[in-house]
C-alpha cells in the first residue's frame, strides 16, 4: 500500500514491513496501528545496501509523542494529553501507550503520573541524566587520560574566557574558597579531596559560561577526572604537593584576571594551566580507573559559587 503524497519520501506497508525510500522517514501516525509489535523498518536508498532496524509499536508511538512535543512547542511543566486521548489519537492499546510513556520517562523527557487523570508531563532532561547516558556510550570506548587532557587543553581556555563577563560576586567567593581548599599550604583535606577541589574550581567557571554545549562538555570531562583518575601508588607526596601548589597559584592568577574582566589574560592563563596540569599528571602517572560509567547519584558538581559555598 503506497502512502498518499509520495514526494521526497515514498512509504509502503507490505507484509508487516514498512519500507522507506530516500532518506530519513518521518513516521506517520496512521502507520502506527498497522505495525505489529516487531515491525521492521527498512530504509532503502539508491545504494544497494539497506539499513534495517527493528521497531516495536510502542517505540513508534514514543517517537510520535516526541514529534508532538516539538510541533506543539511544549515546555517543561506542560502536560501531555491523557492516556485515553493518546490511545484514541494513535489507535493503540493502553499497554502500548504506557510502554511508550515509560520509554520517554527513562529517556528523561517526561514524568509519568498514575490515576484516573494520569499521563505524562514534559520535563527538562537533567544534566546528571545526560552525563550518565553519554558515559554509557563511552563504556566500550578506549578513552585514555591523554585523550581527556587533550580535550581540556582545547576547551578550558575558551570556557574560562567566556565565563568572565558573567561571573558574580558569589562565583568569585566560590572560586576563592576552592583555592583555599585545594592549596596544600592552607588545606587540612586529604590529597584526594584536594585534587577533587581543583576540579570544583573549573566547575564554577563552567556554570557561569552561557554556552550550554561547551559547559556540558567541560562538566562531563571534569566529572571523569573527579571520579575516575587515580595516581600511581609510588608517586611521592612531594609531587602531589607541588601539583596542588601549582594549581592554587594559577587559580589565584585566573581569579584576579577574571575580577579585572580581562578576558584575554584569563584565556592565556588557562591555556598555560592546562599545559602544566598535563605535565604534572604524566609525572604522577595518572591513569583512568575502570570504564567510563557512573551512577548519576554520585555526581557532585557545584552549579554556582553560592551552591559551592553551601556545601
Grid cell of 154 as nine digits: 582545547
Best-predicted range by mean pLDDT (86-90, 152-156, 215-219, 239-243): 152-156
Read off the pTM: 0.64
| Higher pLDDT, residue 20 or 125 | 125
In this predicted model, which residue has the larger pLDDT, 245 or 137?
A: 245
Residue 21 confidence (pLDDT): 42
Model pLDDT, residue 290: 55
CATH of domain 57-125: 1.10.10.10
Please identify which residue in the block is written with the cell numbers 562538566: 219
CA distance 160 to 264: 10
Q: pLDDT tens digits for 116-168?
A: 666 799 998 877 777 777 777 777 777 778 888 999 999 999 999 999 999 99
For 19, 61, 97, the CA distances from 2, given in Å and listed in that order, are: 10, 21, 27
The CATH classification number of 128-310 equals 1.20.120.530
> Over 60: is that where the pLDDT of 301 sits?
no
- What is the average pLDDT score of the chain? 77
Torsion of CA 207, 303, 175, 210, to 10 degrees: 10
Higher pLDDT, 25 or 60: 60
The phi and psi torsions of 159 (rounded to 5 degrees) equal -60, -50
At residue 134's C-alpha, the angle toward residues 195 and 280, to 5°, is 25
Band (pLDDT 50/70/90 cuts) for residue 269 is very high
- Each residue of 157-185: pLDDT tens digit? 999 999 999 999 999 999 999 999 888 88
All three cell numbers of 192: 584526594
Phi and psi at 141, nearest 5°, equal: -95, 150
- Around 309, how many Cα atoms within 13 Å sit in the side-chain half-sphere? 12
Alpha carbons 90 and 223: distance in angstroms, whole number? 41
Confidence of residue 12 (pLDDT cuts 50, 70, 90): very low
89 phi and psi angles, rounded to 5 deg: -60, -40
For 147-157, give one letter per residue: b (16+ CB within 10 A) or e: ebbebbeebbb
Spell out the domain ranges in the chain: 10-55, 57-125, 128-310
Report how far residue 211's alpha carbon sits from residue 204's, in angstroms, rounded to the nearest whole number.
14
- Crossing angle (nearest 10°) for helices 145-163 and 237-259: 20
Amino acid at each position: 500500500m503506497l502512502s498518499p503524497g509520495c514526494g521526497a519520501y515514498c512509504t509502503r506497508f507490505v507484509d508487516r514491513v514498512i519500507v522507506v525510500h530516500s532518506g530519513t522517514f518521518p513516521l506517520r501516525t496512521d502507520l502506527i496501528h498497522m505495525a505489529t509489535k516487531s515491525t521492521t523498518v527498512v530504509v532503502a536508498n539508491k545504494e544497494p545496501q539497506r539499513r534495517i532496524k527493528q521497531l516495536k509499536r510502542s517505540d513508534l508511538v514514543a517517537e510520535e509523542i516526541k514529534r508532538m512535543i516539538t510541533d506543539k512547542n511544549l515546555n517543561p511543566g506542560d502536560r501531555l494529553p491523557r492516556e485515553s486521548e493518546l490511545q484514541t489519537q494513535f489507535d493503540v492499546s493502553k499497554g502500548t501507550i504506557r510502554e511508550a510513556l515509560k520509554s520517554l520517562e527513562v529517556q528523561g523527557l517526561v514524568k509519568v503520573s498514575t490515576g484516573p487523570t494520569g499521563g505524562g508531563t514534559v520535563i527538562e532532561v537533567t544534566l546528571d541524566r545526560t552525563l550518565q547516558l553519554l558515559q554509557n556510550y563511552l563504556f566500550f570506548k578506549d578513552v585514555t587520560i591523554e585523550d581527556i587532557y587533550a580535550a581540556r587543553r582545547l576547551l578550558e581556555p575558551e570556557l574560562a574566557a567566556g565565563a568572565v563577563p558573567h561571573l558574580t560576586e558569589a562565583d568569585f567567593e566560590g572560586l576563592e574558597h576552592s583555592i583555599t581548599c585545594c592549596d596544600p599550604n592552607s588545606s587540612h583535606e586529604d590529597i584526594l579531596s584536594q585534587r577533587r577541589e581543583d576540579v570544583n574550581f573549573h566547575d564554577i567557571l563552567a556554570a557561569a559560561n552561557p554556552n550550554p554545549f561547551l559547559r556540558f562538555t567541560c562538566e562531563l570531562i571534569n566529572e571523569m577526572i573527579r571520579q575516575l583518575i587515580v595516581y600511581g601508588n609510588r608517586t611521592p607526596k612531594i609531587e602531589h604537593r607541588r601539583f596542588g601548589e601549582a594549581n592554587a597559584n594559577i587559580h589565584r592568577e585566573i581569579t584576579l584576571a577574571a575580577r579585572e574582566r580581562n578576558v584575554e589574560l584569563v584565556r592565556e592563563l588557562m591555556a598555560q594551566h592546562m599545559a602544566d596540569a598535563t605535565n604534572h599528571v604524566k609525572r604522577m602517572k595518572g591513569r583512568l580507573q575502570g570504564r567510563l560509567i557512573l551512577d548519576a547519584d554520585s555526581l557532585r558538581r557545584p552549579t554556582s559559587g553560592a551552591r559551592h559555598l553551601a556545601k
